[in-house]
Structure 1
Amino acid sequence: MTEEKASRERIYQVSSNRERASHKLRYVEASAPIEEDCRLCVGSLAATDHNENEFSIAKTVYDDIARMAFLEKQLYSNQAYPPLFFYQALQQWRDTFLSLKVDNKVAGYSLMVPLADNALALMSLLIGKSFQGQGLGKELLHQSILLAQSLHYKRLELSVSPKNKSAVCLYERFGFQTTDSIKDYLGPGEDRILMSLPLAKT
């Protein structure tokens, strides 16, 4: 990380309140669907450097939700998470719910959900359509990993479509390893690779 990046404000709230998710997670591992693919198979987490716009990553607050829901609807139409989901997520998983802002405007978010055995699942990571291709998804993933480490979780898990080669390669570059491959994991024809990243102690 450059000195310029290090100087940018990143605010994380650390808490020992780690509620276990009680429902089946709908993992989203990138920022935009590709042609003939669903929102669970996307793989456009940018690997290039971001532009010169000032960006910050901080814990999500209520004022972020309207913009967040707009970005969801813009990308995913009827499959988008509704505003109510974000309000519930903020109540339940406040400490692992991050907003990425460009020039103080919400441009994306990352949501990690506690699992059993002191692990986290990357439930959703989104970069708005007009902010893609700037390396912001890569940066948000990196900061999500750092946050998980700072909260002393043991590992970070996610699922990804086996057809999504670019996303798999990106996760591997961050140190994720394949732990399983499950046919029809999210329904007929929705196969998934499960990946896990051991988190170093900070």
Structure 2
Amino acid sequence: MSEEKASRERVYQVSSNRERASHKLRYVEASAPIERDCRLCVGSLTASDNTESKFSIAKATYDDIARIAFLEKQLYSNKAYPALFFYQALQQWSDTFLSLKVDAKVAGYSLMVPLPDNALALMSLLLGKGFQGQGLGKELLQQSILLAQSLRYERLELSVSPENKFAVSLYEGVGFQTTDSMKDYLGPGEDRLLMSLPLAKA
């Protein structure tokens, strides 16, 4: 793994063109991806726990979408989800679409989507470049888990590259367990671990 690739924070998204609800999660970097990067995998979240800024996490609103779309565009240029996607997501999955704000400014978001058997997939969790390294990714992950639990879903699922030891450790640290290891899961050379978190009843 190159030093450039290893140093970047990573988060994840479900592929928007999948034919059925499953574990096919789309790879997203928390910095501009290099051209050869595959975006069909899960990566790591920031794990620092220190921040001096005031942050809040609440359900996303229509007023948040322009800023969320801007953060996507900032990180992924023409590969970013457009504002239209987020308007549609808010209409379909408003209960599981979270916005994270720092000093009242949108800094990131989390979106979970329903799967069969009363489960959720973590579709996307993203932080803007200027808000990484402060523990906010971990906070957003934890709040997403609590939300899924409060809505009485039975488990939360994701996929992650087995090479991304930081991400695997982070997910295991909050209770995720590996349920399968899939070779070429998202294409040649794109091996993935499937991870699942049983959710306790609220």
- Per the shorter chain, which TM-score range? 0.7 to 0.9
Do 1:31 and 1:125's aligned partners in 2 also have CA atoms closer than 8 Å? no
Aligned counterparts, 1:48-87, within 5 A: 48-87=48-87
Q: What is the match of residue 12 of structure 1?
A: none
Q: What is the match of residue 165 of structure 1?
A: 165
Do 2:55 and 2:103's aligned partners in 1 also have CA atoms closer than 8 Å? yes
Q: What is the match of residue 143 of structure 1?
A: 143
Matched position secondary structure for 1:159: strand
Q: What is the match of residue 4 of structure 1?
A: none
Coordinate RMSD, CA, aligned: 2.1
Q: Is 1:26 aligned with 2:25?
A: yes
Q: What is the match of residue 5 of structure 2?
A: none
The letter for the 1-side match of 2:130 is S
Q: What is the match of residue 45 of structure 1?
A: 45
Do 2:176 and 2:196's aligned partners in 1 also have CA atoms closer than 8 Å? yes
Unaligned runs of 5+ in 1: 1-20
Moved more, 30-39 or 172-181: 30-39
| Structure 1 position 30, deviation (Å) | 6.9
Distance in 2 between residues matched to 1:144 and 1:90, nearest whole Å: 16
Distance in 2 between residues matched to 1:121 and 1:42, nearest whole Å: 12
Distance in 2 between residues matched to 1:195 and 1:104, nearest whole Å: 33
Q: What is the match of residue 128 of structure 2?
A: 128
Do 1:55 and 1:102's aligned partners in 2 also have CA atoms closer than 8 Å? yes
Q: TM-score, normalised by structure 2?
A: 0.82
| Structure 1 position 163, deviation (Å) | 1.6
1:135-163 CA-to-partner distances (Å, cap 9, x unmatched) read: 00000000000000000000000011112
| Structure 1 position 50, deviation (Å) | 3.5
**Structure 1 residues 33, 45: CA separation in 2 closer, same or farther (over 3 Å shift)?**
farther
Do 2:26 and 2:42's aligned partners in 1 also have CA atoms closer than 8 Å? no
Do 2:180 and 2:193's aligned partners in 1 also have CA atoms closer than 8 Å? yes
Number of equivalenced pairs: 182
1:24-51 CA-to-partner distances (Å, cap 9, x unmatched) read: 6534577446766444446341111131
Do 1:33 and 1:75's aligned partners in 2 also have CA atoms closer than 8 Å? yes
**Structure 1 residues 160, 172: CA separation in 2 closer, same or farther (over 3 Å shift)?**
same
| Structure 1 position 178, deviation (Å) | 0.4
Do 1:162 and 1:192's aligned partners in 2 also have CA atoms closer than 8 Å? yes
Distance in 2 between residues matched to 1:112 and 1:144, nearest whole Å: 8
Runs of 4+ in 1 over 6 A off after TM superposition: 33-36
1:79-127 CA-to-partner distances (Å, cap 9, x unmatched) read: 2111111111111111000000001111000000000000000011001
Do 1:65 and 1:86's aligned partners in 2 also have CA atoms closer than 8 Å? yes
Matched position secondary structure for 2:75: helix
Unaligned runs of 5+ in 2: 1-18
